[in-house]
Structure 1
C-alpha cells in the first residue's frame, strides 16, 4: 500500500521530510537524509541562539483528589490517546517521528526548542530554520508532495480538493492522489480509537461516553460530523476531551487539511456558571453587526455554551509553538448553523500568559496612566468573546458557491481570527452597554486588548493569529485608535478605537461574504506585516527577557496518575 510505503520511508530515514517520488530531479537539494548521516553536521543557526529561551515553562498540575478511581483511569487513557495525536502531527508537520529527530540533537536546549516547534523551524519567527542543513518549511507541510505546485493540484483529478481528512501523494505514475487519514494512518488511528472505547467504558457521564465512542468511529471512517453533533450535546461532564484532525492552520498552501491535536480538560464549575448567560445574546448581537444586512442574514445557534476549564494535557497542533488558551468548536459550518458552537476557556493557561507575559509587556509598552486598566478579568473576557465571535458573521459566501473557508483558501484562517478579535471587542462594548457585563469598564477591555496585540504579534508572520494582529495593529494605527509617545509608550484613544472597531468589522465581514480572495490577499500584503517602528518596540520586550509564550511540563508523572 502507498501508505505503508510512505511511512516506512519517513520512519527509516528522514531528518527533514520531503517527497520521494521518482519525478524529483536528482540534483534538487532535498533534506531527506538519514539522521545518522546528518547528525554530525547539524548545528544551531547562529542568530537562533537568543531564541532558545523565549518560552516560559509552566507545569500543568491539577488537584485530582475529588475524582474517582474510574475517572483517573479514564484520564490516563485519554492522555495515551492524545499522545498518538501528537505523533501523527509530527508526521503531518515534519515527516519524521519525534524521537528519531530529537535523538539526533545533542544540545538539550536545542532539543527542547525543536520539541516545542515540532521540527527544525521556528514557529514564532516566520517558520525560519533554526538548524543548519534545513530547507525552508514547505507551505503545505507534509500534507502534499513538496514538489507540487498549486496549479498542478488545482488541475489534478482529485475530486474533493478541499478534503479536510486526506494526505496528498503520488501514485506509481507520478499522478497526484489523495489518501484518507483513516487509511494513511490506519494503525495509529485504530490504536487511538481503542483507547477512546476503553475510556468510554469507564465514563459515568452518558453523553461523554457516547461522544468518545462516536469519535472513535470517526477516526476509522473520516466522518467526524456525527461526533461533532454529539460533542455539542455534552453539558455537564466534568472531564472534557477535544481530539482528532481539527484546525487547518498548518496547511499554509491552501488551508484545507486538518491537523491532529488533542486537549484533556477538567471543567471549572464555578467559572463556567458565570459565563453561561452570554450565549443567549448571540442572535441579538448578530442583528446589530456594523455591516449591511445581507452579510448577517445567517443566524447563529443560541444554544451554544461557554465554559471554563483547567487544561492538563496538550498534544499535536495545539501544543506546537504558541499555546492555545481558548477553543471554539466545531468548525463544521453545518453544525455551527444548526447548533452553534461550544467555547472552552482554558483558565490556567490563560492565567499563566497573563502573569508571565501580558503584565510585563504592559510595563514596557503601555503608558503608566493606563496600566491600571490591564486586568485578568478583561483579558479573560477578551479571549472568551474572541471565541464567541467566531459564531457571528457569515459562514457561506453570498454567491451561493460555497463556504467562506473554501473561497478564501490559505487566507481564510487569518481573516477569521481577525474577525473574531474585532467582533469580540464589539460584543464587549454592546454587552457593557446592555448591563450584561458588570465587571470593569470599557477602557479596561480596550487597553488590555492593546497590550494583547503586542503579545500576539510576537507569534510571527507564519501564524494566523499573528497575521490577524498585524493587520489590526496597522489598521488601528491608520485610524488613530492609539498613539505612541516619544518614549515608545502607547495609549488608547477610546473614541477612535470604537470607530476603528466598527470600520474593520465591516471590512472583514464584507470580504468574507463576498468570498473576495484577491481583496483579502491585498489586505494581508498591505497590513499583515511588522513595520520598523513596531519591530523596534518589540525588540524592547526581547531585551527585557519577556517570554514570547509558554511551554508545558505535562503528563501522567506531573499529574501523579
Structure 2
C-alpha cells in the first residue's frame, strides 16, 4: 500500500511521517465535550477520532458502515500472527493474566505488566509498530512465570501435548531475550533479510536467496499485466521443497477470513449501487479462491467505483512488514466521502496531466496519458488490522503498477484523523524548542496546517500516481529498497510542486509564500527531529524515516556549496535553517528526477546507494542532543486511535431502524472486547 504515515512529535499538525505531539499530561484536548486523549503509556498516546456527518448519512449507508466495520475487526488476529508466530500465544496469555490476576496491583511488576500488555495491543505483537525492534518487558521473568502457573489450565494457550512448564520455556526467550527474534523487519545491508526478520511470512529455514529465486522463476518479463506474486501466502519448506500456504477459505487464516466474508455479504445487501456490489463480489471471490488474478479484477473494480459515498479497504494490502516488500499484511479502513473538502482534491486530480507533463523527470519516465486518477477527502468510520491503532492519514491504491497505469488509482486524505492529531497536538512546546526563529514560527503558525494537508494531497494523488516503469522492468527490482524509494518519489513530487504558481492559480494555496512552512518542517524533521524515534546507537530502519532522511540529507549535502540549508547553534543547541527556498526547490526537483529514473529502470544499485549513503546513518552527537532536548519536553513520539462503537437499532420485528455511534469505550476495554468477540484463529497457525 502507498500510505502516508503520521508520527507524533511536534506541536504542529504535520504529516507524511512528520511531527505531532501530545499536550502536557495534565491537559486533555476537548471540543464540545469530546475528549481526544484516552490513555498514555511508554512512548504512546491513545486518542479518539470523531466521525462527523455520520448522523446525516442515510440509514442504508449507516447500516453498510456497520457491517463493514465488523469486517474490519475480524482480521485482527491475522495481523498478529503475520507479525510473529508467537504473538497470539503471548497476547492471549497476557490477557488471561490481566483478567485473572489476584496479586498486588500497586507493585512495580504489575504496573510494568500493564504497560507491556498495552504495548503488545498497540503494536499488534511484541515488536515496535514503527521501529520494528522487539520491546522487552519491564517485569521480571519470575513474575511472569508465577502468573502463568497461577492461571487455570485452560487459560494457558499450550500446544497439543505441551505442558505448562514446556510452554513457559518456549515463550520465555521470545519475550525476554533481546537476541531472540530481535527485529520484526530487518533491512540492514549485507545480511540475510529473511532469516534475520522475525515476521511470520516465511517458514523456518527459508533464506532470502531461496525466496528471490522461487519468485523470479514465476515471473515473465514480457507479461504486461503481472500478478503480485506471493502477496497472499506464507512461503515454507515441506520435505525440502518450497511451498506457498495461501491465505484463503480452506487455507491459512480460513476461520477469520470466513467471518470477514460473512460481514461483507451483509454489506453487499445494503450496497449503494451495482458497482459497489461488484467490488464486494470480487473481493469475496478472491478471499475464497486466493487467486491473484481475481485480486487484480477486484482492484480494477474498486478503482472504477467512483460514485459510492461509502468506501472501504479490506484485505492483504500493506507490504512494509516484509523486508522484500512482497507479502502483504491484513488491514481495513472503512470510510465515507467528505463532500465539501473533496472539492480541493478533485481540483488537483483533474489537473493531474498538467503536473505529469511539467514534472522535472526525464520524459521517458512520465506517463503519456494519466488515467483514472480519482481523489477525495474521507472521513474514517473504522480502522482495522495494520491501520489500527496506528493509522495513515493518506492512502493511494492499488499497488499494482500496470493497474495504476491502465485504470488509474484512488487517492484519499483522511481529514478527521488529521483533525484529531491537530487537536491533541496543541501547546506542546516542541516548536519553541526546535524551530530556529520567529520567522519560521510565524510561517508554521500561518501556513503549517494547510501545507501539511496539501503535501499529503500531492503525495497521494500525484506522487504515487506519477511516472511509469520502462517495459520489462520487474516491479520488485529494487527489493528491500523499493518501499523507501517509492515513498521518496511521492514525497518529492509533492515538495517540488508545493511552491508552484499553478497551485495559487487553482486556488489551492493561499499565496506564493505558504510552501515555505512545509519546506522548513520537512528539512527540520528529516535532518534532526525524527531522530527522537530512534534509540541511541541505532541506524534509521523504517522505510518512511529513511525516505525523509534521504531527501533532507541529500539536498543538504548537494546544497552545501551555496549554503542552501545549514545547521546553526544557539545557546549550545543545534537548529536547522533554510537560507534559500528557491534553490531548495531546485534540489528537490533534481533528486526527484534521479529517484524516478531509479524506479523506472529498476536500478537496484542506484537505489541502494541513495538509501545507504543518505538514508541510514545517524550522527551520534546530534542524535544524543535531540534526544535530551526532547526528553525534557515530556512528550510521546507516537499516537494511535481507538475506534468508535456502532450499534444496530432494531424494531420489534428485527428490522434495522438506525445505527448509533458512541465514543465512550476505553482503550483497555476495547482491546479486551475485541479479544473476546473477534478472535477466532487458532493460537498457532502452522
What displacement does 1:527 show? 1.1
CA deviation digits over 1:5-36, x for unaligned, max 9?
Answer: xxxxxxxxxxxxxxxxxxxxxxxxxxxxxxxx
CA contact (8 A) 1:408 1:515 kept: yes
* 1:560 paired to 2:662: yes
* 1:149 paired to 2:204: no
The alignment partner of 1:429 has SS state of coil
CA contact (8 A) 2:478 2:604 kept: yes
Residues 123, 204 of structure 1: alpha-carbon distance in 2 compared, 3 angstrom cutoff: closer
Q: 340-349 or 357-366: which moved more?
A: 357-366
Partner of 1:386: 459
Q: For the residues of structure 1 that align with 2:387 and 2:274, how far apart are their CA atoms? A: 27
Q: For the residues of structure 1 that align with 2:215 and 2:639, how far apart are their CA atoms? A: 43
CA contact (8 A) 2:501 2:512 kept: no
Task: State how 1:137-286 maps to structure 2 within 5 Å.
Answer: 137-139=183-185, 140=194, 141-156=199-214, 159-160=217-218, 162-171=229-238, 173-182=239-248, 183-222=251-290, 223-252=294-323, 254-286=324-356
Partner of 2:129: 123
Partner of 1:548: 637
CA contact (8 A) 1:358 1:452 kept: no
Partner of 1:317: 386
The alignment partner of 1:325 has SS state of strand
Q: For the residues of structure 2 that align with 1:555 and 1:71, how far apart are their CA atoms? A: 17
Q: Name the Cα RMSD after superposition.
A: 2.7
Q: For the residues of structure 2 that align with 1:549 and 1:298, how far apart are their CA atoms? A: 41
Q: For the residues of structure 2 that align with 1:511 and 1:369, how far apart are their CA atoms? A: 37
* 1:424 paired to 2:470: no
What displacement does 1:555 show? 3.9
Q: For the residues of structure 1 that align with 2:466 and 2:50, how far apart are their CA atoms? A: 37
Greater Cα radius of gyration, structure 1 or 2? 2
Residues 77, 122 of structure 1: alpha-carbon distance in 2 compared, 3 angstrom cutoff: same
Structure number with greater CO (CA < 8 Å, separation at least 6) is: 2
Q: Which of 287, 291, 295 in structure 1 is aligned with 2:365?
A: 295
Higher helix share: 1
CA contact (8 A) 2:408 2:465 kept: no
What displacement does 1:452 show? 4.5
Gaps of 5+ in 2: 1-39, 99-109, 138-175, 186-193, 220-228, 535-539, 647-659, 664-686
CA contact (8 A) 1:388 1:424 kept: no
Q: For the residues of structure 1 that align with 2:628 and 2:361, how far apart are their CA atoms? A: 37
CA contact (8 A) 1:245 1:260 kept: yes
What displacement does 1:298 show? 5.1
Q: For the residues of structure 2 that align with 1:309 and 1:421, how far apart are their CA atoms? A: 20
Q: For the residues of structure 1 that align with 2:231 and 2:364, how far apart are their CA atoms? A: 28
Partner of 2:51: 62
Q: TM-score scaled to structure 1, two decimals?
A: 0.83
What displacement does 1:278 show? 1.0
CA contact (8 A) 1:325 1:345 kept: yes
CA contact (8 A) 2:451 2:517 kept: no
Residues 353, 232 of structure 1: alpha-carbon distance in 2 compared, 3 angstrom cutoff: same
The alignment partner of 1:486 has SS state of strand
The alignment partner of 1:145 has SS state of coil
What displacement does 1:402 show? 3.0
Matched residues, number: 504
What displacement does 1:560 show? 2.8
The alignment partner of 2:333 has SS state of strand
What displacement does 1:307 show? 0.9
Q: 128-137 or 510-519: which moved more?
A: 128-137
* 1:512 paired to 2:503: no
